[in-house]
Structure 1
Amino acid sequence: MSDTMTVNNFERDLDYNNHTGIMTNNYINIDYRYGGTNDDLLNDLDTLGKFTEHHISYQAPRLRILSDYYQGKTFNVKKRSTRRADKQMADNRAAHDYAAYVADFINGYFLGNPIDYVVEDETAKEYIESFNDLNDIVSHNRSIGLDLSIYGRAYEYMIRNDKDQVRIYKTDAESTFVIYDDTLEKNSIAAVRYYPASSIDVEWSEGELVYNVEVVTDGMTYYFTATSTNNYKPKQRKEPAAHAFNKVTITEYRANEFRIGDYEKVISLIDLMDSAQSDTANYMSDLNDALLLLIGNFELPTNAAELQKTARIMKLEPPTYETDDNRTTEGHVEGDYIYKKYDVAGAEAYKNRLNNSIHMFTNTPDMSDENFGGNTSGESAKYKLMFLEQRAIIKEGLFAKGLRRRYNLLESIAKTNSELDQSVNLKEMKYKFKRNLPKSMIDELTAYINAGGQISQETLMMLFSFIPDVTLEMERIQEEQQEKQKALENSRPDIYAQVGADNAQEEQ
């Protein structure tokens, strides 16, 4: 199935029609379930091929559309193939970057501040910190969070490399999926990751599509090849490789129970805004090419009209005629442009309604709104972001679920390799999420001091961005104080000599 078929269906909620029959939109975001073990699945390559074929044909196109919108490749710009009927009219196409604005804002609010990992065992704490530093876990979490905002899902692959390092990588959400069992626990049976066997994009191919497929189970990674001409039934590409994690090493994260991206529900509104702004641009362009209407009893040679148009000057000579009293009188000539009348106020009100609806339904603030200005305090911002906070709470619970699975995998491999004591239980580790909100530092500091709180000079310096190196600044202050002390001693040596003698006598 081609992408062009699925794009229009996705936008307009139409049915899909391919060789398997009619499939509605309910099938483009389903979980894959299998009523058997991973061994049963690996012996049932036809079913495994059907899962892969379905993902390529139905799930991947939807996910690709969501990615396109994040990159500004909206339907109005990328997919609309027909231009306006009148070829003499302008055909401007505007794209609004709402998708990236929504995804980046929500991800920054949710994961802009690093997650704190709270564990009591010191050995486990050091091991986790080492693992997090090795994998730049702060950036990795934000990358996972961005996929959650775009796709409503994200995938993380944990491996132990040839350097005996445990590494995690984000895998492409457009070509990764997990197969679960049919129990209430919904355990992972296997995870599938596929990618084109050729470095040339598969969209360029007009013939057979060939993919490399990796199937990861709780103890092995299997390597297959799958082709479109064989219904993507896997064929072994090389010998499988064992791993010691004792679980499927690809973890799926979810933004919500339905795996819906943060801007997915407002794509139709984004399209309407693109169309409205494009119409405005086309109107302004067409106005420059409006038809000139000349009314009067006169003649204007064609060559003269062309010359005057080039010079952007129109000189009209009205006809003259004799009146009954033998007086010469000039006739009347009028000139005006003919163009489609444009309701400026109505059009702008319509676009404002679309803009407001997009922000309302994505729970994101409109930063161009004067009511959400730079003077908004952190506490005031909390009230304005109340509905976004509800969305973040849902995302936080599901993200923590993925984190628990991540560190459960880490615990398993660490104990297998005797890097952690068997008594360590990382399930007890707590995760603290900190919202990335604007803060009024002066208000907080004033309230703290007024309540009787005390703060060290070093901590105070750390609050201000214009002090790049607090330790160096403390050393400079100490040097300045020592120089001032020496200057005072040199200015009144008699007094400071007596003070030194008195101190020495007291010490005796």
Structure 2
Amino acid sequence: MFILESDTEMTEELLLELINKHKSSHERYNRLKKMYKGDHPILHQKKKEEYKPDNRLVVNYAKYIVDTLNGFFIGIPIKVSHESDEINNYLDFVDKFNDQDDNNAELSKLCSIYGHAYEMVFIDGDGMLGITYIEPQEAFVVYDNSIVGKPMFGVRYYNNADKKLEGSFSDKHQIIYFRENDEGKLYFYDEKPHLFGDIPIIEYVENEEKIGAFEGVETLINAYNKGLSEKANDVDYFADAYLKILGAELDDKTIKKLRDSRTINMAGGDIDKLIVEFLEKPNADETQENLINRLEKLIFQISMVMNINDETFGTQSGIALKYKLQSMENLAKTKERKFASGLNRRYKMIANTSITPIKGDEWTGIKYQFTRNYPANILEESQIAKNLIGVTSKETALSVLSIVDNAKDEVDRINDEYDIDNEYDFDRNRVDLDE
């Protein structure tokens, strides 16, 4: 985390120093990215001798943990709403214009891989509001040294076609563009005002410590890969076991005949002293199985992500299933609070622009509905919703149903249908009276 005095002015020298410090974290980012993509350390370990089996098996638990957690957390897209119809319609438009459901999902995934990620808001060439995500290798935020740690600068950089640094940084009022010259120094070459009234780069975090979802079990995953690979090596070893013959000397032609015909027929000599058997390596199969099973159990236990491929997972329902998913629910709750904090900054900045109907503090009325992607039991949900009618509002009761995307809209549709039915009954009764 980059922290400066609140009155610090950004210079070319200071910016280059910050970028170089940020580059020192690229090794960690690249390691975590490789783990997620299945490029694990076992694939790069020293090769064994040619005569030894050398399996390199990768079980990509890193990807499994990230994808499972985020499918549970944001597999059902976040619903953003406001009491004002005008603002609500604008929020729907912004989300569709920017494919925000996909952006949110990718942003959440990056947070689970790296522990944090960034989002940039901008005005495009057509004067439309744009929102996109940025990987942490390409950006960082500088905070002041106050107790709340307010953002001071947002920096985004990359290597251009000439392998030189290029990018931009923002304060609360303008965007300044920079490049690297032939001497390896930075220079500012352009600046433009922006309308957001704050740093238009927002940091989202997985947790306060910025630890990725699988980072705590990284060594366990590597040990699992190693244990499984050694077990595969043992299988290859037994498939290529050496034949031991004691008490007789065979020439090359006889050895080849034995190998091709797979038949042993030997006569002469002292048969009682003749030994023909395969060399056996000490069997550690049970020990290996115990280790592999223990590692698998620890990976899910420490990462707090449920193994949904467990044979017993699908046989449970209701409250028992929720208890089993409790640890992953706790992770999702932490992630939800941090994500909502980033969303608050997003819509607060949007409200500061002149191209939106959101004015002043109206952004505080925006609500976020995070829905966990639990296995749905429609019958159970409908019974709960029915029991809530008369105890809670219709909107709250309907929000229990996973098949209802927006409870408020569903209540409006129910009311519309009720009005239509009543109007039809009235017309029919009036005809009967006339007759």
* Conservation of the 8 A alpha-carbon contact between 1:295 and 1:333: yes
Offset from partner CA, 1:210-254 (integer Å, 9 cap, x none): 221221222222222237973xx4223x42232221211110001
Could you say which residue in structure 2 is the equivalent of 1:198? 161
2:264 partner letter: K
| Superposed displacement of residue 70, structure 1 | 0.6
C-alpha change, 1:428 and 1:442, in structure 2 (3 Å) is closer
| Superposed displacement of residue 346, structure 1 | 1.4
Distance 1:444 1:420 in 2: 37
C-alpha change, 1:226 and 1:369, in structure 2 (3 Å) is same
Work out whether 1:341 is the aligned partner of 2:278: no
Could you say which residue in structure 2 is the equivalent of 1:224? 178
Work out whether 1:120 is the aligned partner of 2:77: no
| Superposed displacement of residue 36, structure 1 | 3.8
Could you say which residue in structure 1 is the equivalent of 2:379? 442
* Conservation of the 8 A alpha-carbon contact between 2:141 and 2:151: yes
Distance 2:196 2:388 in 1: 52
Which of 313, 318, 329 lines up with 2:262 in the alignment? 313
Could you say which residue in structure 2 is the equivalent of 1:253? 204
Distance 1:130 1:254 in 2: 26
How many matched pairs? 400
TM-score normalised to structure 1 length:
0.73
Distance 2:143 2:360 in 1: 30
| Superposed displacement of residue 451, structure 1 | 8.3
RMSD (Å), alpha carbons = 2.6
1:260 partner letter: I
1:410 partner letter: I
Offset from partner CA, 1:120-173 (integer Å, 9 cap, x none): 222222211211121122111111110111011011111101111101011122
Work out whether 1:186 is the aligned partner of 2:126: no
C-alpha change, 1:76 and 1:442, in structure 2 (3 Å) is same
Could you say which residue in structure 1 is the equivalent of 2:324? 384
Work out whether 1:292 is the aligned partner of 2:229: no
Which of 350, 361, 370 lines up with 1:433 in the alignment? 370
Could you say which residue in structure 2 is the equivalent of 1:499? none
2:285 partner letter: V
Aligned residue for 2:76, secondary structure, equals coil
Distance 1:123 1:240 in 2: 34
Within a 5 Å distance, the mapping from 1:7-18 to structure 2 comes to none
Distance 1:338 1:387 in 2: 49
1:376 partner letter: Q
Offset from partner CA, 1:238-286 (integer Å, 9 cap, x none): 4223222121111000111110000001100001001101111111112
Work out whether 1:147 is the aligned partner of 2:88: no
Could you say which residue in structure 1 is the equivalent of 2:186? 234
Could you say which residue in structure 2 is the equivalent of 1:507? 434
1:438 partner letter: P
Could you say which residue in structure 2 is the equivalent of 1:53? 20
* Conservation of the 8 A alpha-carbon contact between 1:121 and 1:424: no
Could you say which residue in structure 2 is the equivalent of 1:272? 223
Could you say which residue in structure 2 is the equivalent of 1:73? 39
Percentage of identical aligned residues: 25
Could you say which residue in structure 1 is the equivalent of 2:2? 32
Aligned residue for 1:420, secondary structure, equals coil
Could you say which residue in structure 2 is the equivalent of 1:21? none
2:266 partner letter: E
Aligned residue for 1:93, secondary structure, equals coil
C-alpha change, 1:144 and 1:288, in structure 2 (3 Å) is same
